[in-house]
Amino acid sequence: MFELVIAALVTLGALGYLMARQRVTAMAAESRVHSHSLPAYHGMFVALWVGLPAFFLSLVWLLLQDSVIDRLVLASLPEHLTEGLNAAHESLVISEIRSIAGGQVFGDPSPEFVAAAERLKTWGSLAGWAMLATCAAVALIGLLVTRQRIRPEFRARHGVERILDGLMIACAVVAIVTTLGIVVSLLFEAYRFFERVPLGEFLFGLNWEPQIAIRADQVAGHGAFGAVPVFLGTLVIAFIAMAFAVPVGLFAAIYLAEYSGPRFRASVKPVLEILAGIPTVVYGFFAVLTVAPAMRAFGAAVGLDVAPNSALAAGGVMGIMIIPFISSLSDDALNAVPRSLRDGSYALGATKAETIRQVLLPAALPGIMGGVLLALSRAIGETMIVVMAAGLIAKMSVDPLDSVTTVTVQIVTLLIGDTEFDNPKTLAAFALGLVLFLVTLGLNIVALRIVQKYREKYD
Amino acid sequence: MASTTLSETHDWHSEDARRRVRRRHAADRRMRFYGLAAIGVAVGLLAVLLGSLILSGYTAFVQTKVPLQIYVDPAQVKADDVGGGNYRKLVRDAFLELLPVELSRTEQRSYLDMLSSGAPFLLRDRVIADPSLVGQTVTMAAPLADPLDQFHKGVIPRDVPEEQRRVSDQQIGYYDQLVARGLISAPFNWALFTAADSRFPELAGLAGALVGSFYALLVCFLISFPVGIAAAIYLEEFARKNRWSDLIEVNINNLAAVPSVVFGLLGLAVFLGFFGLPRSAPLVGGMVLSLMTLPTIIIATRAALKAVPPSIREAAFGIGASRHQVVLHHVLPLAMPGILTGTIIGLAQALGETAPLLLIGMNAFITSSPGGLTDPATALPTQIFIWADSPERGFVARTSAAILVLIGFLVAMNAIAIFLRQKLERKW
């Protein structure tokens, strides 16, 4: 149906464009005046007014149509079927009716459901045609109203440019709306979580066992949602990743910036960028397939007991992923140090290593720190590697050979599968998400501040 | 080095001074070595990563098969109800015919286990597609079951004790007989690209995931490309520098660094929870991915617009163009190659993104390709995640193969981006 709407709008818009262009040319010729705007702008003006309002109307319509019809169908069911249903059951009922309407009948559906499925189908197609009719009507009204305004002295170009301005501003505001959407949805769901589990419990509790809260007799708030072990596990894995990635990335950057020739640099930099471009699910599989078994075998050889999903394997592989961030940001920072500082140091007789250690690194330190903080935020927010390679059970452990869990692992495991927004288990994921968002946001802001401040120093 | 020691009496060639210089140069060499070693570690790890994926994945690009001559018996498959026939029996009979010896009941079972349990479905699909096959003899290359497939490819070696492998000695005996008669072959595994997901590793393919990823990227492109360009043009060319434009800028930079799983939470709470859009649909996946891709496109577009020299703008103003005409007719076309490069790189990132798609349910088990934007689907990275979680040995190779396919797509997209940058971008 949406395709039909688009086709109708394009046709009407083209029609309006041609009519307006033709009309203004004829009027200008008749009254022997020059049109203020080119005829094409008159056409554009009408076409935009024909197409845009109806297009946005159809988008909103599509977004809301299904949930409105679901509500109506639910309301039309006989009382005894819907009485006392919670949201989860309602959505089950709806999906059953939907699958009956879609022709997939399992078993023997009750006659009420079959009737409801019939209604769903009729209303669905009715809504589709209604959307087409409404959009066409809106487009036609637009056509008629704007057609009246087409005159040679009408400033059509200004009108078109105002519409374009509005569209561009709306697009730029999407960024703000997205941030707002993130903040509001996280806050809203987290608030509902903290209604059931006290904030202090969540932030300082030492026991994280969200799975048992599904059971009906288990009331949340009995120590099952203390997130400290989860935070601790996140920090352990992020620390391992940083401990591996910072030295490797920093030394690689030093070599690329100070020692290597241009040709070596030109061939190694893209290779490091490949590391940054590999999807994280690939790193996760690499950790499971190669790194974790290798570490286990190595541990067995030297007499250490390494868990199959040890923090060391997950953190180490995450470190590989982070190397290119550190190396490229440190490389930028080192390259931003003015030539004169190097020359001054060399003129005093310092070797390259001495120049790097005592002049360049201190000068580039803010930039490098900014890069490290950005990388840390990346490590904390990284999901797939830890989902595949780290553990699920939260333990108060800082042993890198043990299995620990992270915030992102918990978010994904709590929300995978069927999710309904009315038990603490799923809401807990949003509370964790809120913490994750705030921490990474804070790290990013601090990092960007440091980098910007530092840049100003030498510009 | 106090100034007094720099007297003429200082001997720069004393053993002591030479040793100090040697030590300083050694420190310099050490620093250089550490740098090279770090680069070596990074490049080496990349090589290990790709190497281990290729080693474990290349076997999935071929599939062990056995040719069957199947007589589609009208007694088993009714011509007017081809969907409901007993294809299992047809396939089994045909497979039994390949071995010219009588088998006892248990031997038969062990022998029949060598054939993929999905083979009857393949025959059924073929007969449904062409009902005139009923009553005729069909030639079909049927896949062997996963353990035999792995055995043929050498993943399960012959010399491990019988109880430690999933292929019995008896089955190896039958296998050797089939090999001796030249019946076992391993052609290129087209099913990897034409079949959808399956519980049987030997039948599972990526078609559904490829279509799902394509739809999601299409939605992502349709939203983020126009919106991103419009936002960037506004910020770069029209917006007055004030609190609002600063706020938008800060927002865009921060969005670029928000963890992807948070976008998944947003999609789950807003698109699924609030608007009630369907779960597991590429439409929703594409919408979430477009929010993540927007900052990339906006930042790239602004850089491309900035790179267009002011002389172009001034020349256009000089012949009387309005601000909008300057931007739309002159600056934007010249910036297009840079914008396209940034867009392709953004889409490549979106293609590899997994976590947000998991949260909106694009990790469902779906055995058919999605027919539209709102059908349940998987995407390439979530398919990798599903297969990586599957216990069967055959899925390890499939996962690696799927990763190689994904990396192939990423390499191709980035190559196009680099090509565009080098061929089309003008240097001023």
Question: What are the extents of the domains in chain B?
Answer: 65-188, 207-424
Partner-chain contact A66 B276, CB within 8 Å: yes
**Residue written as token pair 């009588």:** B102
Partner-chain contact A171 B354, CB within 8 Å: no
Is it the case that residue B302 has pLDDT exceeding 70? yes
Q: Report pLDDT for A421.
A: 63
How far apart are alpha carbons A360 and B389 in whole angstroms?
A: 47
Closest residue on chain B to A319 (Cα): B42
Which of A172, A353, A383 lies at the smallest CB-CB distance from B231?
A: A172
> Which pLDDT band, with edges at 50, 70 and 90, does B305 fall under?
very high
Select from A272, A384, A434 the residue whose CB has the most chain B CBs within 10 Å, as the one to mutate to test that interface: A384
Where is average pLDDT lowest: A222-226, A248-252, A300-304?
Answer: A222-226
- What are the pLDDT digits (tens) for B353-380? 999 999 998 888 888 888 888 888 999 9
Tell me the average pLDDT of chain A: 86
Is it the case that residue A454 has pLDDT exceeding 50? yes
Partner-chain contact B231 A275, CB within 8 Å: no
- What are the pLDDT digits (tens) for A188-235? 989 988 888 888 888 888 888 876 444 455 454 444 788 899 999 999
The average pLDDT across B262-269 equals 92
Closest residue on chain B to A435 (Cα): B262
- Domain spans of chain A? 2-154, 228-458
Partner-chain contact A440 B259, CB within 8 Å: yes
Give percent of chain B above pLDDT 70.
98
- Residues 213-272 on B with a CB inside 8 Å of A are 226-228, 230-231, 233-235, 238-239, 247-248, 251-255, 257-266, 268-270
Q: Report pLDDT for A220.
A: 46
Q: Which residues of B touch A320 (CB under 8 A)?
A: 42, 45, 49
DSSP of A366-407, one letter per residue?
A: HHHHHHHHHHHHHHHH--HHHHHHS-SS--S---TTS----H
DSSP of A327-364, one letter per residue?
A: HHHHHHHHHHS-HHHHHHHHHTT--HHHHIIIIIHHHH
- What are the pLDDT digits (tens) for B386-413? 999 888 878 888 999 999 999 999 999 9
Q: Report pLDDT for B389.
A: 87
Q: Report pLDDT for B426.
A: 74
B173 token code pair:
């005996």
Is it the case that residue B214 has pLDDT exceeding 70? yes
- What are the pLDDT digits (tens) for B98-130? 877 777 888 888 888 888 888 888 888 888 888
Q: What is the dihedral of CA B348, B349, B353, B357, to 10 degrees?
A: -70
Looking at domain A228-458, what is its CATH homologous superfamily?
Answer: MetI-like (1.10.3720.10)
Contact between A386 and A314 under an 8 Å Cβ cutoff? The reply is: yes
Is it the case that residue A272 has pLDDT exceeding 70? yes
Look at the domain B207-424 and name its fold.
MetI-like fold (1.10.3720)
3 state DSSP class of B363: coil
- What are the pLDDT digits (tens) for A309-344? 889 999 999 999 999 999 999 998 899 889 999 999
Is it the case that residue B2 has pLDDT exceeding 50? no
Partner-chain contact A285 B400, CB within 8 Å: yes
A424 Cα to chain B: minimum distance (Å): 15
Tell me the average pLDDT of chain B: 88
Dmax over CA atoms of chain A, in Å, equals 99
B27 Cα to chain A: minimum distance (Å): 7
Q: Which residues of B touch A272 (CB under 8 A)?
A: 42-43
B331 to A141, A168, A310, B245, B424: CA distances (angstroms): 35, 16, 53, 21, 15
Helix (H) or strand (E) holding A98: helix A87-101
Contact between A206 and A226 under an 8 Å Cβ cutoff? The reply is: yes
> Which pLDDT band, with edges at 50, 70 and 90, does B1 fall under?
very low
- What are the pLDDT digits (tens) for A342-396? 999 999 999 999 999 999 999 999 889 999 999 999 999 999 999 999 888 888 8
- What are the pLDDT digits (tens) for A106-159? 667 777 778 888 888 888 888 888 989 999 999 999 988 888 888 888 888 999
Q: Which residues of A touch B388 (CB under 8 A)?
A: 281, 284-285, 288, 388
- Residues 343-372 on B with a CB inside 8 Å of A are 348-349, 351-355, 358-359, 363
Give percent of chain B above pLDDT 90.
43
Partner-chain contact A381 B396, CB within 8 Å: no
